[in-house]
Amino acid sequence: MEESSKKKEENDKGVESRGIVSDAALANRVLIAPWITEAATTSMELNKYIFKVALCSNKAQIKKAIEDLYKVKVMAVNTVKIAKKARN
């Protein structure tokens, strides 16, 4: 019994060292921060939440990240890219 648990521990260490990350670590890379504005606060009353996310993430990754972190079922994900303001 001890041999199998030692092998499992060694395998787990190998997985981490090869760059395979857990679901929580992936969620932390996808979700950057909650978006807190007056409009976002108003939409919370309708059970809609707004997050700032990584540009390279897609809707499926965002959905999985929210479900893993908050233990909820996501019904829909809407995304929008907001352009930076031009500086003079």
Domains of the chain by start residue, with CATH: 21-88 (3.30.70.330)
The pLDDT of residue 62 is: 94
Write out pLDDT tens, residues 33-79.
Answer: 999 999 999 999 999 999 999 999 999 999 999 999 999 999 999 99
pLDDT band at 4 (very low <50, low <70, confident <90, very high): low
DSSP 11-66: HHHHHHHTT---HHHHHHHHEEEE--SHHHHHHHTTT---EEE-TT--HHHHHHHH
What is the four-CA torsion angle of 3, 6, 7, 10, rounded to 10 degrees?
Answer: -160
Q: Give Cα separations from 47 to 9, 16, 67 (angstroms).
A: 41, 36, 14
pLDDT at 88: 76
**What is the CA angle 69-75-35, rounded to 5?**
55
pLDDT at residue 2, as a whole number: 52
Q: What is the pLDDT of residues 10-36, one digit of tens each?
A: 444 433 444 455 777 878 899 999 999
